[in-house]
Chain A
């Protein structure tokens, strides 16, 4: 018996050594496989990330760094999925100033924060389906959308590919972002459920809606971020269609920019010469093959001409972990918030590319 045991033991060890190391690659959806941007030979823009940006007081922690925005004084607003969703304000040096909206009825699952030209603070919450306008003092000034009543319990999850019910003028389905034109009209990206852009006047009265789920020009498949220029043109990150769509201020479809990968976050800088930034964010599950072809942010002219790119996927300072929002009030001082690193980074872009090295 003993020799038999020995030979079987050897056979078992050989079998173990012959086992493939690791499972076969998992199925990736077409969108995931096509995350790589079409644009090629794009110049790299040198940049640095400011270390230890936000000074958090004891017992206060950021969660998923979902939203970041600055006001005219350079204060930094962070809308984060912490234990509960929180909106925090820091000064331009990163000192914590205050929390806004503690325990607010509309704070359920943060998605974006933006600051308008009058320094009002707008929070977009995809859990409560609300867009909440705070005045600069941090008091609620106006509401769009309404949180579902908890008496109804959890609403049933729609079946995959079920037809989208008709969108209502004043209700959102997982809204994602908000922007404004120079007259103060409000444009809401609505969102995961409705795949449309809704325009309201500055007092919150419905004016128009554009887009529905689809891939034709003018249609949208997950408008995930929205921004506007000084003319009132509206730029929509049509994430699952892997393109940016441009509409005029009357929501007439104008153009498609589809060279910059999957746009998670878009931003237009202020000033006489405006730039468009778009993040081809890496997906949130840390697969090397996908991280290698994503994670960069593009700098563009408003007409879609690509000027340069910067950044790569990673968890270290200066690398990007699923960028979710960009603030570009100053085109060479960007703030980015990230999902898979619970942080906000301040990026200093070299205004003259390739003249000095980034560190």
Chain B
């Protein structure tokens, strides 16, 4: 007992020591809103932004209102989020998935190496894969049919498997999933999310492989895995936002290390290429203009620098929920609070 108590105190004392490092370098940057919206088209909260290999920009946004319909003892929800594609010039190209069953509450969009478009919807508990043409290819998770109707009764009830909140579950029983990432073999990793506090791994065909994590603060546990990214070695980086840390796992979920010192990571991104960087946003919480910096890090956790702050003006950030870093010096950030994206150019050290 005594040893473990000492260790606990020691670990608690360790965190501030790790954070007491040299001041973080400020990165010089500029930012523009690149989009030219057609008449009568508006973005709402930008939950997801991503680019494909051609530089086209995909935006998954909470816009319009989710509609709940009466149906006996049940409500059905629909609408409330839309997926748009813009050219790299900012010209509007098209909308994808009009009226789609799974578009309820946008949480994210990512593009895989084959330019497939992956939408994360926290309202329908679905991860939806579109091919580059914009047609649905694959689905993980399932939209909740209704409020619970115990129609089949007792031991032969037929629910999707649910455990106590934060206990971890199996399969694709997502509950407000937050993000999706891929490794070089096409395996799929889902950060699932505010309720389940776990990461789920699937093979490229959607076959369920593994799950890890539950609610907590110990290594391998999560207090809301909010964003997820995979490096070229297949290591998995999870933004454990309310534990104010990034946890790194190997490809099978074995805990490797954790990084602190970059605030509460709400959005992660790992750039491609020979020298990969990790970007993490210490996004301002709802109702505040605190924090807001985006950190550039080495994959080993060393902080290269930071830029930006919370605010409403150009170059400032309002609740960043997504970062695209296909080009490590030209980022796209999606903001919930400011209903926009910004294209951020990072300038080399003077």
Give the residue of A23, A29, A80 whose beta carbon is less than 8 angstroms from that of B211: A23
Within 8 A of A (CB), among B145-177: 145-158, 160-163, 167-173
Q: Of A199-207, A227-235, A282-290, A298-306, which stretch is located at the interface?
A: A282-290
Q: What does DSSP make chain A's interface, helix, strand, loop or mixed? A: loop
Chain B residues positioned under 8 Å from A150 (CB to CB): 70
Chain B residues positioned under 8 Å from A356 (CB to CB): none
- Quick check: B206 and A286 within 8 Å, CB to CB? yes
Chain B residues positioned under 8 Å from A31 (CB to CB): 155-156, 158
- B208 touches A (CB below 8 Å): yes
- A118 touches B (CB below 8 Å): no
- A61 touches B (CB below 8 Å): yes
In whole angstroms, what is the CA distance A162 to B161 when docked? Answer: 22
Q: What does DSSP make chain B's interface, helix, strand, loop or mixed? A: loop
Q: Known contacts A11-B7, A12-B11, A160-B150: does B69 contact A154 (CB below 8 Å)?
A: no
State the interface size on chain A (CB cutoff 8 A): 74
- A101 touches B (CB below 8 Å): no
- A355 touches B (CB below 8 Å): no
- A341 touches B (CB below 8 Å): yes
User: What number of A-B contacts does a CB cutoff of 8 Å give?
Assistant: 204
- Quick check: B152 and A157 within 8 Å, CB to CB? no
- B210 touches A (CB below 8 Å): yes
Scoring A residues 118 to 131 as 1 if CB is less than 8 Å from chain B, else 0, what string do you get? 00000000011100
In whole angstroms, what is the CA distance A342 to B103 when docked? Answer: 13
- Quick check: B168 and A23 within 8 Å, CB to CB? yes
Chain A residues positioned under 8 Å from B210 (CB to CB): 21-22
Chain B residues positioned under 8 Å from A222 (CB to CB): 151-152, 158
- Give the Cβ gap from B2 to chain A, nearest Cβ, in Å: 13
Q: Which single residue of chain B is at the shortest CB-CB distance from A26? A: B161
- A184 touches B (CB below 8 Å): no
- B98 touches A (CB below 8 Å): yes
Q: Known contacts A83-B103, A148-B72, A156-B73: does B139 contact A341 (CB below 8 Å)?
A: yes
Q: Known contacts A12-B219, A127-B76, A287-B171: does B211 contact A22 (CB below 8 Å)?
A: yes
- Quick check: A315 and B206 within 8 Å, CB to CB? yes
Give the residue of A23, A28, A161, A173 whose beta carbon is less than 8 angstroms from that of B153: A161
- Give the Cβ gap from A219 to chain B, nearest Cβ, in Å: 13
- A211 touches B (CB below 8 Å): no
In whole angstroms, what is the CA distance A28 to B252 when docked? Answer: 25
Within 8 A of A (CB), among B15-34: none
- B342 touches A (CB below 8 Å): no
Q: Known contacts A4-B6, A82-B101, A286-B172: does B150 contact A154 (CB below 8 Å)?
A: no
- Quick check: A129 and B255 within 8 Å, CB to CB? no
Scoring A residues 132 to 158 as 1 if CB is less than 8 Å from chain B, else 0, what string do you get? 000000000000000010100111111
- A265 touches B (CB below 8 Å): no
- A94 touches B (CB below 8 Å): no
Q: Which single residue of chain A is at the shortest CB-CB distance from B199? A: A22
- A25 touches B (CB below 8 Å): yes
Chain A residues positioned under 8 Å from B143 (CB to CB): 64
Give the residue of A29, A82, A291, A316 whose beta carbon is less than 8 angstroms from that of B158: A29
Known: A5-B14, A108-B69; 18 extra A-B contacts, CB below 8 A, are A16-B219, A19-B218, A22-B253, A26-B170, A29-B155, A80-B101, A83-B78, A127-B71, A157-B73, A157-B149, A173-B72, A221-B152, A285-B142, A285-B161, A286-B206, A314-B205, A314-B206, A314-B207
